């Protein structure tokens, strides 16, 4: 009974959080556009499916992703395993980004709009490589204790410099590519890794050093996509 009460309470809290989205949609549909919903029953079922899916996703994070990430981060904090933590950061950054649903959607749309001129796999690979490099650099910063702003400032200086040389039509897509990486699959693992390392390395603060990896996962994909476009332009 206690388990059912907890599940029911969490589900109601999620309904409370998602409810304003439905309220905004219904308000503009009926009060502004003044048109009825095309299929109210199907929309209600879809909304319920979204709520259930979000709840199961959050439950999975709490039960599986966060504990596993924290356990691995603790082991990687040992001095003899810190070199492997860089390898793990690169591999997990690349793998999770390639499976990121938001990136797949953006890449497919980019391929469609460019009539195949920008293959979706090439874009996803460039973004995933950027995330992998960014997470590796971010983990290295946690291990050394260097200030975060130095790395981020250097990344954005490189981004601004590459913007001048990259094809102008690719610049907006490159900046969007940095945003789509911070989504459902990448963020939970990255957060667990950063907090786990900072919590178990002497002299590191989970608040000051544990967070910040997501920033690396956002800026470095912009650099790699811009770099990819410049190389492609030179080859053409």
Say if residue 146 is in the same domain as residue 58. Answer: no
- Say what the pTM is: 0.79
- CA-to-CA distance for 202 and 198, rounded, in angstroms? 8
Say if residue 23 is in the same domain as residue 139. Answer: no
Say if residue 83 is in the same domain as residue 186. Answer: yes
Which residue, chain included where needed, has tokens 């549909």? 29
Say if residue 57 is in the same domain as residue 81. Answer: no
Q: What per-residue confidence (pLDDT) applies to 10?
A: 66
Say if residue 91 is in the same domain as residue 13. Answer: no
Which residue, chain included where needed, has tokens 């690979």? 125
Q: In terms of residue numbers, what domain contains 180?
A: 77-235
Task: Output the tens digit of pLDDT for each of the chain's 236 residues.
Answer: 555 555 566 667 777 777 788 888 888 888 887 888 788 888 888 888 888 887 887 777 777 777 777 777 778 778 877 888 899 889 988 988 888 888 888 899 889 888 888 889 999 999 999 999 999 999 999 988 889 999 999 999 999 999 999 999 889 999 988 777 776 777 877 888 888 888 888 888 888 888 888 889 889 999 999 999 999 888 87
Say if residue 222 is in the same domain as residue 197. Answer: yes
Say if residue 139 is in the same domain as residue 56. Answer: no
Say if residue 207 is in the same domain as residue 119. Answer: yes
10-24: buried (b, 16+ CB within 10 Å) or exposed (e) per residue? eeeeeeeeeeeeeee
Say if residue 57 is in the same domain as residue 84. Answer: no
Q: Is residue 71 included in any domain, yes or no?
A: no
Question: How many domains does one find in the chain?
Answer: 2
The angle at the Cα of 98, spanning 94 to 100, to the nearest 5 degrees, equals 115
Q: What per-residue confidence (pLDDT) applies to 160?
A: 93
Say if residue 103 is in the same domain as residue 220. Answer: yes
Q: Which of 34, 62, 90 is the last residue of a domain?
A: 62
- Contact status, residue 160 vs residue 205, Cβ threshold 8 Å: no
Q: Is residue 191 included in any domain, yes or no?
A: yes
Q: Is residue 70 included in any domain, yes or no?
A: no
Q: Which of 27, 62, 97 is the last residue of a domain?
A: 62
Q: What per-residue confidence (pLDDT) applies to 138?
A: 92
């Amino acid at each position: 009974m206690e388990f059912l009460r907890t599940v029911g309470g969490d589900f109601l809290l999620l309904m409370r959080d998602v409810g304003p989205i439905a309220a905004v949609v219904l308000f503009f549909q009926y009060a502004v556009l003044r048109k009825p919903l095309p299929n109210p029953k199907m929309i209600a079922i879809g909304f319920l499916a979204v709520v259930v899916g979000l709840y199961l996703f959050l439950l999975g994070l709490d039960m599986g992703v966060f504990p596993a990430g924290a356990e691995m981060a603790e082991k990687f904090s040992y001095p003899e395993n810190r070199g492997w933590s860089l390898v793990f950061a690169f591999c997990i950054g690349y793998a999770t980004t390639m499976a990121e649903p938001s990136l797949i959607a953006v890449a497919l749309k980019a391929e469609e709009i460019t009539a195949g001129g920008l293959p979706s796999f090439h874009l996803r690979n460039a973004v995933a490589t950027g995330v992998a490099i960014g997470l590796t650099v971010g983990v290295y910063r946690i291990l050394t204790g260097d200030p975060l702003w130095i790395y981020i400032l250097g990344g954005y200086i490189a981004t601004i410099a590459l913007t001048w040389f990259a094809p102008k039509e690719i610049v907006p897509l490159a900046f969007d590519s940095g945003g789509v990486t911070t989504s459902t699959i990448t963020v939970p693992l990255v957060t667990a890794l950063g907090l786990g390392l900072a919590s178990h390395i002497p002299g590191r603060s989970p608040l000051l050093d544990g967070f910040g990896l997501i920033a690396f996962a956002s800026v470095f994909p912009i650099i790699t996509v811009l770099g990819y476009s410049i190389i492609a332009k030179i080859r053409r």
